[in-house]
Amino acid sequence: MNTTIMILGILAAFVLLGYMCMKGWSIFISAPICALIIAATSGMDLLEAIMEQFLPGTGNYLAQWFLLFMLGALFGKIMEVSGAAASIARSVTQVIGSRNACVAVIIATSLMTYGGISLFVVVFVMYPFAVGLFQEADLPKRLLPGCIATGAFSFTAMALPGSPQNQNVLPTNYFGTTPTAAPILGILVAVYILAMSILYMNWRAKQARAKGEHFVPSEKDMAIIEANKKQQLPGIVASIFPLFVVVGTIIFLKWNTMVCLLAGIILSIILFFSRLKDDFVTTVNDGAMNSMTAILNTSLTVGLGSVVKASAAFTIICEAIDKISSGNGLIYEFVSINVLAGVTGSASGGLSIALDTLSSRLLATGIHPEILHRVASISANGLDSMPWCGSVMTMLAVCGLTHKDSYKDVAVVNIGITMTGAVLAIILGSLGIC
């Protein structure tokens, strides 16, 4: 089979995958179709590509990471239904106040995400408090997604050591590291991303005020704000304690992340059982089921990556990326993960495909595994926030906004700033800072 046709087939398949995701097609449909395109243009037997590459790749990833995804989703659901997550959001926003509305939203979402609450749960929980805060500050609602995205999808998920989020845990299995890998490098990059994002969003708020823009709520927003004022929530100490337990056991006791999440789940059930008991079974079932979409979406993209890896064009692609990176292993890692995260619209999906296919090659460079871990984790949060990213579309839908309204700010904080953060990580890693 002609090499050009094979490479064009792979590119076409991933472009189609991104397009289908943006148009609302299920990954259950788009991933097998794209796998067949890659197989056909690579001269592979179609049935063999599906049965011996795509399905085993999907199944192996599902078996390996199902429990992590399920426990994370379950913990997030319990914190949501109990009102504990909302209590954290309310307390932080009240302490920081409407004078610093952008900072308050960023810090509140960051705290919940770093504590192990699912990214999707954080978006739903944070919005009612964020929209009320923006009403008090009289800031246009279009700035909200940029603030939420900074806290929920950015530095806490991938740069801060000890984060229980998927992007920080996935590399451990490929590099033999722990979630606290390269702590100095991670903290420096996290501080940079946080500081730059706050500066940018505050500047955007200042611009909006200078133009005479105001908060314009919808009827739904007003109903949410009023309901939020009447909501009875648990105390902040009890609410935040399970988050400290999850992160503390990861950092100080070095427990397996899944054990740490389980400890957080058990503790949150004990603390909030009186709030959960009427809907306990429903809450647990919903939390477990919520994990299925996330894990299957990622597993299917990894299955697609397995077909790419089996293609004769895979070696050529690796060599091309190697030339672009000028032989630098960290740049190689950054480019490959970002490209895959971009076309799949998923940080964990792009990260998983890249590491599943390239981790042995990266380890062979002799770069410290902890540096490889941290740069990989940070690199996954860049082009993943393209317009067709599921997390971005969900967040905009929750906020009642469109890409035209708010995507510019999301792109700046979640693509521009996080990718420059990855460049900083490469520089620090090249200097041996770990």
pLDDT given for residue 119 in this prediction: 81
Percent of the chain scored above 70 by pLDDT? 100
Q: What is the pLDDT of residue 351?
A: 92
386, pLDDT greater than 90:
no
The model carries a pTM of 0.91
Confidence label for 302 from pLDDT (cuts 50, 70 and 90):
confident
pLDDT above 80 (res 132): yes
SS3 per residue for the chain: CCHHHHHHHHHHHHHHHHHHHHCCCCHHHHHHHHHHHHHHHCCCCHHHHHHHHHHHHHHHHHHHHHHHHHHHHHHHHHHHHCCHHHHHHHHHHHHHCHHHHHHHHHHHHHHHHHCCCCHHHHHHHHHHHHHHHHHHHCCCHHHHHHHHHHHHHCHHHHCCCCCCCHHHHHHHHHHCCCCCCCHHHHHHHHHHHHHHHHHHHHHHHHHHHHCCCCCCCCHHHHHHHHHHHHCCCCCHHHHHHHHHHHHHHHHCCCCCHHHHHHHHHHHHHHHHHHHHHHHHHHHHHHHHHHHHHHHHHHHHHHHHHHHHHHCCCHHHHHHHHHHHCCCCHHHHHHHHHHHHHHHHCCHHHHHHHHHHHHHHHHHCCCCCHHHHHHHHHHHCCCHHHCCCCHHHHHHHHHHCCCHHHHHHHHHHHHHHHHHHHHHHHHHHHHCCCC
The answer on pLDDT for 405 being more than 70 is yes
Query: What is the rounded average pLDDT of the residues 177-194?
Result: 98
Q: What is the pLDDT of residue 171?
A: 96
Per-residue model confidence (pLDDT) at position 211: 95
pLDDT of residue 118: 84
What's the rounded mean pLDDT across residues 186-201?
98
Average pLDDT, the chain: 92
The answer on pLDDT for 343 being more than 80 is: no
pLDDT mean over 201-217: 95
Which of 243-247, 354-358, 387-391 has the weakest average pLDDT? 387-391
Q: How far apart are CA 65 and CA 298, in angstroms?
A: 10
Tens-place pLDDT, residues 254-267: 999 999 999 999 99
More confidently predicted of 291 and 373: 373
Check pLDDT > 90 for residue 326: no
So what's the pLDDT on residue 252?
95
pLDDT at residue 316 is higher than 70:
yes
pLDDT at position 98 is 87
Top-confidence residue, 21 or 391? 391
CA–CA separation, 404 vs 408, rounded Å? 8
The answer to whether residue 362 scores a pLDDT higher than 90 is: yes
Averaged pLDDT for residues 396-416: 93
pLDDT at 313: 87
Per-residue pLDDT at 344? 74
Stronger pLDDT, 412 or 15, i.e. the higher one: 412
User: What average pLDDT does the segment 73-95 reach?
Assistant: 93
Averaged pLDDT, 343-364: 87
Predicted confidence at residue 1, as pLDDT, reads 67
d(CA 235, CA 290): 26
Q: What is the mean pLDDT of residues 79-108?
A: 93
Q: What's the average model confidence in pLDDT over 180-199?
A: 98
Mean local confidence (pLDDT), 397-403: 89
pLDDT band of residue 374 (cuts 50, 70, 90) is very high
| pLDDT confidence band for 321 (50 / 70 / 90) | confident
The share of the chain scoring above pLDDT 90, in percent, equals 67
User: Mean pLDDT lowest for which of 16-25, 200-209, 213-222?
Assistant: 16-25
How far is residue 218's CA from residue 138's CA, in Å, rounded to a whole number? 14
Q: Work out the average pLDDT over 362-386.
A: 94
